[in-house]
Amino acid sequence: MPIDAKLLERAYQSGTLEGLPDGHFIDGRFQPAQAGGRMESFDPGRAEPFATFAAGDAADVDQAVASARGAFEDVWRDTAPEARGRVLMRTAELIRANVSRLAVAETLDSGKPVGEAQGDVLGAARTFEYYAGACDKLQGDTFPLGPDHLGYSFNEPVGVTAHIIPWNFPISTTARGIAPALAAGCTAVVKPAEQTPFTALMLAELLSEAGLPPGACNVVTGTGQDVGAPLVAHADVDHVTFTGSVATGTGVMKAVADNVTSLVLELGGKSPVVVLSDCDREAALDGVMGAIFENAGQICSAGSRLVIERAIHDDFVDTLCQRTGALSIGHGLRDPQLGPVNSDRQLETVSGFVDRGRERGATVLTGGAATTDPQTGKGWFYEPTIIADRPVDDELVQEEIFGPVLTIQIAEDAEDAVRLANATRYALVAGVYTRDFEAAHQLARRIDAGQVYINEYFAGGIAVPFGGNRMSGFGREKGLEGIRSYCRTKSVAARIAR
């Protein structure tokens, strides 16, 4: 499905998109922040504001949660599962019908190349389709209690759910949270990142158009402090799904404790891509580059460490550096191979990691500097960067950079690769490239990660559960497992004979 070329060009020339949503989406309609607050959203490709949006506070959160509570109790939890499924399916169709507008909005807000944004939007449609089909399959169980009793269980929706969304995958993360929540019969309040508020608002409007009752999906925009914090601590929120940084996530964990609110945390990663000497070289080169340069490395599951067997290191890394140096850089609406990073703060963070690494003696094989769009001289860009082999305790190996920076670790053999792969506090995903079937599955078992990709990084899709271990968080999203957070089991045991 090609992007509407005229819309794309108009957005590029004007620097914005006409008809962006204005206001929070609460109770089925757009409305201003009660206190009248506004914020600017920046186009990272030009480092300039391109639109404004409502900056909410606790009063707006209260209103949205009350609206979600009403919609839950009065309508949505008792809506027939097949009717819920139809709304989600229509939403998927509407997302597809609006792919160009959604992708352009996502690119202006986040900076990512519009081809990637289009993939995210279509992925969001696929997410709604997937969970549309799940609505009427949330079966319970029966328990063998003997002839005098009957025991059974069913899945109840947990209630009002809060979704805290990061800026790197705005529409994807919103969809993967609210589609299963709505499928289960829950209602939702979404807090998009303040850097990227628009596609969540557009999605909420499409859900309404698809027939979702007012209040079943609300979006409140604003900062983490003013909107996120009161939302996760709200006594009438039954479940929180948080995707973001470790520092904010651990704060959210503390905040939900007072109300004993259930929580899924999807935090950071420092994921290894293990490349063994018998790999398919071309597949591994493509995989390693996609793993770290897609979305300019701003992916919690980015493959930010190349763990490579010594035997093929020199030749593989030479080619990798040549191809990396040749990547096109530019404004996301020009669909380059590498777009900007999301903010000046992020650019500083990425630069800081590389500059400190240099001071410790790290060798930068390619890249290693902040830059701008070669056409306009504007924007928050960082060159695609590869750092030569670092010791395991180095910051460049241990810490999530969240930018286009790949650190190499040399492994002596597959055994050593497992040791290196597991040597950080994160355990989100891992990639493995080898033609040896047994070695691949041995590594998949022994590497600590929520998800392991073999011979294709980011393989899978909505059907495959996703989430981390250790400091990468807990709970799983996506797949049928992803719907469990939004259901709770009610068991019934009855005496039926005396």
What SS3 class is residue 382? strand
Q: Taking contact as CB under 6 A, which single stretch among the options 97-105, 188-196, 279-287, 362-370 is the one that binds ligand ADP?
A: 188-196
The only residue of 165, 203, 206, 263 in contact with ligand ADP, by rule CB under 6 A: 165
Q: For ligand ADP, how many residues bind (rule: CB under 6 A)?
A: 16
Q: Give the amino acid at 25.
A: F
CB of 232 to ligand ADP, least distance (A): 5
Of the residues 266, 294, 309, 477, which is catalytic? 266
* Bridge partners (DSSP) listed for residue 491: 153
Of the residues 205, 300, 383, 477, which is catalytic? 300
The only residue of 135, 207, 252, 429 in contact with ligand ADP, by rule CB under 6 A: 252
Tokens of 497: 């004979």
CB of 197 to ligand ADP, least distance (A): 9
Task: Find the largest Cα–Cα distance for the chain.
Answer: 84
Tokens of 102: 């959604």
CB of 66 to ligand ADP, least distance (A): 19
Tokens of 54: 């409502």
CB of 361 to ligand ADP, least distance (A): 28
Q: In 423-462, which positions are buried (b, 16+ CB within 10 angstroms) versus exposed (e)?
A: bbebbbbbbbbbeeeebbebbeebbbbbbbbbbebbeeeb
Q: Give the amino acid at 436.
A: D
* Beta-carbon contacts of residue 252 (< 8 Å; ≥ 6 apart): 164, 228, 232, 240, 242, 263, 265
CB of 249 to ligand ADP, least distance (A): 6
CA 9, 10, 11: angle at the middle one, nearest 5? Answer: 90
Q: Taking contact as CB under 6 A, which single stretch among the options 225-233, 380-388, 409-417, 445-453 is the one that binds ligand ADP?
A: 225-233
**Residue 266 near ligand ADP by CB under 6 A:** no
CA distance 256 to 292: 33
Q: Which one, 70 or 244, has the nearer CB to ligand ADP?
A: 244
- What does the DSSP 8-state code read for residue 93? H
x/- contact string, 452-491, with ligand ADP (CB under 6 A)?
A: ----------------------------------------
CB of 235 to ligand ADP, least distance (A): 15
CA distance 452 to 466: 10
x/- contact string, 288-327, with ligand ADP (CB under 6 A)?
A: ----------------------------------------
**Residue 229 near ligand ADP by CB under 6 A:** yes
Integer distance in angstroms from the first to the last C-alpha of the chain?
65
Residue 279 designated active-site: no
The only residue of 244, 268, 297, 340 in contact with ligand ADP, by rule CB under 6 A: 244
210: closest CA among 302, 83, 48? Answer: 83
* Bridge partners (DSSP) listed for residue 141: 153
**Residue 56 near ligand ADP by CB under 6 A:** no
* Bridge partners (DSSP) listed for residue 431: 273, 453
Residue 266 designated active-site: yes
- What does the DSSP 8-state code read for residue 477? B
CA distance 407 to 410: 10
The only residue of 228, 269, 272, 468 in contact with ligand ADP, by rule CB under 6 A: 228
* Closest residue by beta carbon to ligand ADP: 224
Q: Which one, 252 or 417, has the nearer CB to ligand ADP?
A: 252
The only residue of 224, 330, 339, 384 in contact with ligand ADP, by rule CB under 6 A: 224
Q: Which one, 76 or 382, has the nearer CB to ligand ADP?
A: 382
Q: Are 403 and 382 in contact (CB under 8 A)?
A: yes
Q: Which residues are catalytic?
A: 266, 300
Which residues make up the interface to ligand ADP (CB under 6 A)?
164-166, 191, 193-194, 223-224, 228-229, 232, 244-245, 248, 251-252
